[in-house]
Amino acid sequence: MCPIQELRDREAQNRLHRFEMVPGTERDRRPWGDPTRAVKEYSRPAAGKDAMKSSDLRPPEVLLKTVYYLIDFVIASPSLNPWTEVYSFAFDRLRCVKQDMIVQRLSGLECLAILERAVRFLIYASYRLCGEPLRLYDPRINDTHLQEYLSWLFDCYTNGPGPYPNQDEFQALGLLYNLGSSSTLQHIMELPVRLRKARSVTLALAINQAYLERNPVRLLRLARRLNFLQACALHRHLVMCRRDLLLIYSHGYSSRNCSFPLDRLAQLLSLDTSHTAQLCQAYGVEVDQNKVAFSKAAFTEPEQGRLLCRRYHSLVSEKQKDLGVKDIIHGFT
């Protein structure tokens, strides 16, 4: 998984990650590298730098083995913490896998297997690490790489012989992640009828339609039918969706003599009553005991940093149940 010369160089330069060290040597002045745990790190191409040696390129079967190792023994490991560090390590090593794939112009089943797992990992990470400090997790960088993986994966589906058993899953994930994107919707509409009629794709299309129509009630109702990873893909749109619902109701039910049941609003927002009350207060919507008093004049946008998305993840988290990280990323759901 890591060229022996790179392992020795990083060992001599004290550049081994702790996940790659021989157990028991982590506190040594110069820890040993474990060839069974070390993974080739990403190196940015630079002007004047020697081209990558052909001997350092990992063939497709080794790249796939590397990805399986990262998923099974790093990303899904219950003993490696914190998960922000796990993510950082896996992200870098997967980026290097992609680099080797590009140099070799990799295609075929190994390429698909790697891309599909990379997409699942980045979608899951976008949910799990939501709200982490920017120094530990940058959602924009994660998004950039996820979009690249999705684009490459869809090109493989389009240009390959097919059929591919997971294609409908990833077409749906791409649309849910990119709600409202005209280019993503156009791509979906150009798919064969067999794929457009797949259950996951039709559900994603219905959610996208609700998003375009600014119908948050229907969107959240449809979202309850998503599986866990699909909900992870959708989750970044939930804050704006719930904000739109409160804004619409603040205009539609704006009256001094009118109140709305808190438990009913919680049901519409797919939240418990406690988090519903907190969300209302963040937007200036008055909550008195179990009643909500909407007012279009009182509705305000929350201060930056006050509304933490991860507090309102119940729509997603309740779907995980006993699903393990390994099963999620391998697609064993």
Distance CA 64, CA 111 (A): 8
b/e 162-173 (16+ beta carbons within 10 angstroms → b): eebebbbbbbbb
Residue 204 lies in a domain: no
In 3D space, the residue among 133, 140, 210 whose CA is nearest the CA of residue 176 turns out to be 210
pLDDT in tens, 216-231: 999 999 999 999 999 9
Residue 106 lies in a domain: yes
**Model confidence at 44: pLDDT above 90:** no
Tokens representing residue 21 in the block: 């060290």
Tokens representing residue 93 in the block: 């090593």
Residue span of the structural domain in which 154 resides: 39-162
Residue 171 lies in a domain: no
Residue 254 lies in a domain: yes
Residue 230 lies in a domain: no
What is the reported pLDDT for 167? 98
- Least confident range from 44-48, 153-157, 245-249: namely 44-48
**Per the structure, how many domains does the chain have?**
2
pTM over 0.75: yes
Tokens representing residue 11 in the block: 């060992």
Can you give the CATH number for the domain in which 257 is found? 1.10.10
> Among 144, 162, 180, which residue terminates a domain?
162
Q: What is the mean pLDDT of residues 153-182?
A: 96
Distance CA 68, CA 127 (A): 21
In what helix (H) or strand (E) does residue 86 lie, and over which residues does it extend?
A: helix 83-104
Residue 252 lies in a domain: yes
Residue 150 lies in a domain: yes
Are 229 and 124 spatial neighbours (Cβ–Cβ below 8 Å)? yes
Residue 321 lies in a domain: no
- Helix then strand then coil, % of the chain, to nearest 5: 60, 5, 35
